[in-house]
């Protein structure tokens, strides 16, 4: 799958997030990279920033939070295009949930691990 096709899958996954949630998202940007950092080669996605639940009146003038979805590990773990679509959606939801302050333990319990 080309990078452009994968980026489109990420965009489609974002489009499936309910509007009532996307309206609450604040100061966050989503990126696609081919490979994760060398120290974590199986990483599918990464949230970097300050979750909404941790922001206070001090939160102003900061760079956007960053959600990165990694193409390489996703393609290597999936056997079919349908698998890639499903895994990409899970990864996008997982990382957006971190933006809302939901931790890994809760996400795993909800099936977004």
| Angstrom distance (rounded) from CA 76 to CA 3 | 14
pLDDT at site 13? 95
pLDDT at site 112? 72
Tens-place pLDDT, residues 56-110: 888 888 889 999 999 999 999 999 999 999 999 999 999 999 998 988 888 888 8
Longest CA–CA separation in the chain, Å: 46
pLDDT at site 107? 83
Instruction: Kindly report the pTM of this predicted structure.
Output: 0.90
| Angstrom distance (rounded) from CA 69 to CA 95 | 9
The answer to whether 89 and 45 have CB atoms below 8 angstroms apart is: no
| Angstrom distance (rounded) from CA 59 to CA 43 | 28
Neighbouring-strand partners of residue 66: 29, 48
Asked whether residue 32 carries a pLDDT value surpassing 80, the answer given is yes
| Angstrom distance (rounded) from CA 56 to CA 37 | 30
Q: State how far Cα 96 lies from the chain centre.
A: 5
Asked whether residue 111 carries a pLDDT value surpassing 80, the answer given is no
């Amino acid at each position: 799958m080309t990078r452009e096709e994968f980026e489109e899958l990420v965009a489609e996954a974002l489009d499936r997030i309910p509007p009532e949630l996307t309206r609450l998202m604040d100061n966050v940007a989503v990126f696609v990279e081919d490979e994760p950092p060398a120290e974590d080669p199986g990483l599918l996605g990464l949230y970097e920033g300050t979750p909404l639940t941790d922001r206070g009146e001090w939160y102003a003038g900061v760079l956007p939070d960053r959600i990165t979805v990694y193409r390489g590990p996703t393609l290597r773990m999936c056997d079919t295009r349908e698998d890639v679509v499903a895994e990409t959606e899970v990864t996008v939801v997982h990382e957006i949930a971190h933006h809302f302050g939901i931790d890994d333990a809760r996400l795993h319990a909800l099936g977004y691990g």
